[in-house]
Amino acid sequence: MNTIRPYTQIIDRLKAAKLRPTRQRLALSKLLFERGDRHVTAEQLHADVMAAGIKVSLATVYNNLHQFTGAGLLREVVVDSGRSYFDTNTTSHFHFFHEASGELEDIPVDDLVLGALPKLPKNTSVKRVDVIIRVR
């Protein structure tokens, strides 16, 4: 059957983020957070959720991806100008980008260690460090 059951765990997570567990949001959350680490584009997630039989507009997918990102449940990874990936792994880690397939792959944390950070520009603090190894 195609109904999405309202999993307590996900609902609690959404409540903690002050996001109402609507039908659409629940469906998206299930796809994102119950399948392990994922790297999805808005289009892909939209296709997924439609395939699961839940009607959600693409605009709503975008809105939710950004709300999740704002709440710290997702991390946005920019690879191309013109395409954003959303990563369900919000811990500090880096990526391989496969130019041929357009896929993102996590780099195991221990496999790439950054040396000491450089001296930062005056009056700034680090918001995030992005490392992308482009392979083909």
Partner DNA sequence: ATAGCTGCAAATGCTTTGCAAGGCC
Partner DNA sequence: GGCCTTGCAAAGCATTTGCAGCTAT
The DSSP annotation for 56-103 comes to --HHHHHHHHHHHHHTTS-EEEEEETTEEEEES--SS-EEEEETTTTE
**Contacting DNA within 104-133 (CB under 7 A):** none
**Contacting a second copy within 94-123 (CB under 8 A):** 96, 98-99, 105, 107-108, 111-121
**Residue 73 C-beta: closest distance to a second copy, Å:** 19
Per-residue binding string, DNA, 30-69, x by CB under 7 A, is -----------xxx-----------xxxxxx-xxx-x---
Cα 113 to chain centroid, rounded: 22
Residue 82 engages a second copy in binding (rule: CB under 8 A): yes
Q: What are the angstrom distances between the C-alpha of 62 and each of 11, 12, 43, 98?
A: 20, 22, 9, 24
Q: What is the largest CA-CA distance in the chain?
A: 57
**Residue 90 C-beta: closest distance to DNA, Å:** 18
Residue 1 engages a second copy in binding (rule: CB under 8 A): no
The DSSP letter of residue 116 is S
Q: Based on CB atoms, which residue is closest to DNA, 57 or 109?
A: 57
Residue 35 engages a second copy in binding (rule: CB under 8 A): no
CB 63 within 8 A of CB 101: no
Q: Based on CB atoms, which residue is closest to a second copy, 13 or 69?
A: 69
Q: In 3-state terms, what secondary structure has residue 111?
A: helix
**Residue 3 C-beta: closest distance to DNA, Å:** 13
Q: Residues binding a second copy: what is the number (CB under 8 A)?
A: 37
